[in-house]
Chain A
Amino acid sequence: MLSISTYYSLQYLLLLSAAVVFYEIFPLRARRWVMLLFSYLFFFAVSGKLVCYLILSTLSIHHIGIWLSDVQAESKAKLALLGKEAKEEKKALSASYLHKQRCIMTFAVILHVGMLLMLKYTPFAVENLNALIHFTGISYTFRLKKILVPIGISFYTLQAVAYLFDVYRQKIEADKNLLRLSLFMGFFPQIMEGPICRYSDTAEDLWKAERIRYDNLIAGGQRILFGFMKKIVLADRLNLLIKDVFSKYDDYDGFVIALCAICYTIQLYMDFSGTMDVVIGSAQIFGVKLPENFKRPFFSTTISEFWKRWHVTLGTFFKDYIFFPLSMSKPLKKLTTKARKKLGNHFGPLLAGAVALFCVWICNGLWHGAGWNYIFFGMFHFVLILLGSIIEPAAIKVTQKLHIKRTSKPYKFFQIIRTTILVCIGELFFRAEGLTAGFKMFKKIFTNFTFATLKDGTLFQFGMDKQDYIIIGVSVILILIISILQERGMHIRESISKRNIAIQFAIYYALILFIIIFGAYGGNYVPVDPIYAGF
């Protein structure tokens, strides 16, 4: 039976190639069906029978979207029938229809988010309930059968919710075409790890089902190759060190733990951004432009900026569907007005913002996983972002007094390093095997830090030797250079394709051989499962 657990597999490449061939040989109308068939085939290969959750979710948003649209149309029609003088009547009618729409949305959110909560968070809830029961001295334990969770549920559920909210807000028309909506929900390259797309981002491209263009094929292939390099050369190689240190942190000193926190941050970035390269590259082959999920996050000068560059589509989802609605809600508006009077124009709005921000980061933490370390991870970033806003006026004053130019390159460099260190600390808790383990590891960085491990061979205990560290260093520098060029606005893939054919071939061959020779695969390497697929 076809089984796919990662994009970095022969199975995925075969499925992608087959999809390209069948997509190309069929006429326009059939191409859409080919794409849907391959999308469901991929999801079936990833999650088996659980593909039914995706289909049910699609059917549900299709129906609810039309329902919302009908209510909106009915409301407009009835309002149009009323004369200009019937203002009160109009107001009452609008309120009544708005209430109806809100009821539908509440039902829809409960249905979709409830399903996600039930499948993903029930074991965590039961585990904590049992701990609480045992704490009170009762010897009862709730038992739970293993719940099978479809891979990618956290991604497609957010897409479904975003679609319904956009229909509710009348940003988009409800799609009556089930095929187009199914393509939007199930488009196979992005179903496992995102990016979390909006209907307006991809539905039209998917529906156009244009023929495969040569330049798209080449550009998509280039991006897929680059993703493979990040994952196979770097993320999988670092796994040897990370797996061992996080599971046996008691055996290592603070230096190794700090190094491991940095390595995990690199691994997570290479794994997820590499996957996004494969996903976006695969979509590009079919002429579908997916939104970028990473914008060189390690050039961020603040944590707030970091989250505008890291997992961008998740950040914008939370901003558009949690932060803004909460900030604009009546209770928080009132709170802002009151706080502004008492705390002034800077700190006043911060209070209401903090409430909305708190909700965003609780959701962000929980979205990543059902565990206290994830909640802590969310709260850690909430506190850092809030602190950043609170102390900003003071920081400006201090830098002015010290005659430090905030726009200078050294200061910017300092900010980048500071942000990176904070991100690494957050990732340490994120990866730690439980919150207690996270705190113990963090404590060791300060209480048991020594450079002795640099000399005693500890770093070579994980199945990694000097050459492994060298190749990690070289690859990181290579990606850093590419990132700097991109940050300066250079379009590397475009500039490669403008070169003569011999140089193009040489670059492709070099990249392919680099992956084949320096990739951490075969032998005793165990490839790390795609990290974000589990969220």
Chain B
Amino acid sequence: MVYVKRIIKALIFTAGLIFLLVVASQIFVPKNNTEEDGMDYFVANGFQGEKENSVDVLFIGDSEFYSSIVPLQMWNDAGYTGYNCGTGGQPLSYSLALLQRSLNKQSPKVLFLETNAIYRDQSLAKVAYTMAGECLPILRYHDRWKILKGKDFTETPDYNWSDNDKGYRFYTEVKPPENINHMVPSDESESICRANRICVSAIKDLCDKNGIKLILVSIPSTSNWNYPRHNGVAKLAEELDCEFLDLNLLPEECPIDWNADTRDRGDHLNYAGAQKVTAYLTSYLTEHHLVESHKGDPYYANWDECYDKFMTDTVGAGKEAPQDMVETVD
């Protein structure tokens, strides 16, 4: 009898705790996806403010992506709608979280996943923490106690903010690397940690379940990429049965000039390099008929406005983006 009583007590305690965490999560979750409302990586999360089912292509990855993919160029050239969800030092657990969030309001057709994060080791605990934070937002947004307002207790989330540049960050600085022969052929294959394998598999499963084509992409980078990494990801892509585009090995299709196209000695591309990468990925989508053009569709009318604004306020004005905060991996 004593045991039964104790078990009931433990169950009541656990249920009460879960209830409190759920209630607290409702309070602590940002009520809009803006910086002021405490949204995490609000620029990358801008896709949540886009019109329903309007984003066909998602780019999820780290700073390699937000420096190298210009969604509005893709729109202007081919009428494809894409959003760049790159964040500094993005761990794959967060990539998975972003994909899950995107499915609340969008039905993307293609997901480009940057491969640099595959070699950013993280622990299973980090993955568990990120996923727990998606179920119970209090764990991710607990620090919002500093900015809680009355509306946090009364309103439900309504995400309506989007980044005009669709997640792309504009940089023009030119700093060539010292060594440009980073892709020396090798049979070696760099191993991938267990947590990251689990994350990529989960991303693939989620894509398959929602009819999204997953494409792994390696952005040209002399300091982050090499042949053993290429081999490791190629093997993984084969195992998962998904496409892998290593732009480091496509100098003709994506002709990066390392004397002009990088902003920090080969680590990231600048705008000139980003235009080349975007052009290649746009042609890839066209060649493989993966998405449709929405040019002229009134539902997407604001994309033209965004492009014009991007060309005048960002490119025309030379408005450089600030450096991103890097998420702690462990």
Chain A residues engaging chain B, CB cutoff 8 angstroms: 1, 3, 9-11, 214, 465, 467, 501, 505, 508-509, 512-513, 516-519, 521-526
Q: Quick check: B129 and A10 within 8 Å, CB to CB?
A: yes
Q: Give which listed residue, B16, B128, B143, B325, contacts A10 with CB less than 8 A.
A: B128
Q: Quick check: A525 and B328 within 8 Å, CB to CB?
A: yes
Nearest Cβ on chain A to B18's Cβ, whole angstroms: 11
Q: Is the interface of B mostly helix, strand, loop or mixed?
A: helix
Q: Is the interface of A mostly helix, strand, loop or mixed?
A: helix
Q: Quick check: B9 and A501 within 8 Å, CB to CB?
A: yes
Nearest Cβ on chain B to A34's Cβ, whole angstroms: 21
Chain B window 307-330, contacts with chain A (Cβ cutoff 8 Å), 1 for yes, 0 for no: 000000000000000000101100
Provided the pairs A214-B6, A517-B24 are in contact, do residues A522 and B138 lie with their beta carbons within 8 angstroms?
no
Provided the pairs A3-B123, A465-B146 are in contact, do residues A513 and B140 lie with their beta carbons within 8 angstroms?
no
Interface residue? B142 (CB, 8 A)? yes
Question: Most chain-A CB neighbours within 10 Å: which of B123, B143, B325?
Answer: B143
Q: Quick check: A524 and B128 within 8 Å, CB to CB?
A: no
Q: Quick check: A10 and B20 within 8 Å, CB to CB?
A: no
Q: Quick check: A11 and B125 within 8 Å, CB to CB?
A: yes
Q: Quick check: A505 and B16 within 8 Å, CB to CB?
A: yes
Q: Quick check: A10 and B13 within 8 Å, CB to CB?
A: no
Chain B window 1-26, contacts with chain A (Cβ cutoff 8 Å), 1 for yes, 0 for no: 00000100100110011001100100
Question: Most chain-B CB neighbours within 10 Å: which of A10, A518, A526?
Answer: A10
Sample 26 A-B pairs with CB under 8 A, ordered by A number. Answer: A1-B194, A9-B125, A10-B128, A10-B129, A505-B13, A505-B16, A508-B13, A509-B16, A509-B17, A509-B20, A513-B20, A513-B24, A516-B24, A517-B24, A518-B142, A519-B142, A521-B142, A522-B139, A522-B142, A522-B143, A523-B40, A523-B143, A523-B327, A523-B328, A525-B328, A526-B328
Q: Chain B residues near A519: list those with CB within 8 A.
A: 142
Question: Most chain-A CB neighbours within 10 Å: which of B6, B40, B146, B194?
Answer: B146
Interface residue? B133 (CB, 8 A)? yes
Q: Chain B residues near A501: list those with CB within 8 A.
A: 9
Q: Quick check: A467 and B146 within 8 Å, CB to CB?
A: yes
Q: Quick check: B139 and A516 within 8 Å, CB to CB?
A: yes
Q: How many residues of B contact A (CB 8 A)?
A: 27
Q: Chain A residues near B140: list those with CB within 8 A.
A: 522
Q: Give the nearest-CB partner of A13 in chain B.
A: B125
Q: Give the nearest-CB partner of B2 in chain A.
A: A214
Q: Give the nearest-CB partner of A525 in chain B.
A: B328
Q: Quick check: B24 and A522 within 8 Å, CB to CB?
A: no
Provided the pairs A513-B24, A517-B24 are in contact, do residues A11 and B123 lie with their beta carbons within 8 angstroms?
yes
Question: Most chain-A CB neighbours within 10 Å: which of B17, B140, B194, B325?
Answer: B17
Q: With A and B bound together, what is the CA distance between A7 and B90 in angstroms?
A: 26
Question: Most chain-A CB neighbours within 10 Å: which of B12, B138, B325, B328?
Answer: B328
Chain B window 209-247, contacts with chain A (Cβ cutoff 8 Å), 1 for yes, 0 for no: 000000000000000000000000000000000000000
Provided the pairs A10-B125, A517-B138, A517-B145 are in contact, do residues A522 and B16 lie with their beta carbons within 8 angstroms?
no
- 19 A-B pairs besides A505-B13, A509-B20, A521-B142 with CB distance below 8 A are A3-B123, A9-B125, A10-B125, A11-B123, A505-B16, A508-B13, A509-B16, A512-B17, A516-B139, A517-B138, A517-B142, A517-B145, A518-B145, A519-B142, A522-B129, A522-B133, A523-B40, A523-B328, A524-B328
Q: Chain A residues near B143: list those with CB within 8 A.
A: 522-523
Residues of B123-163 at the interface with A, using a CB-CB cut-off of 8 Å, are: 123, 125, 128-129, 133, 138-140, 142-143, 145-146
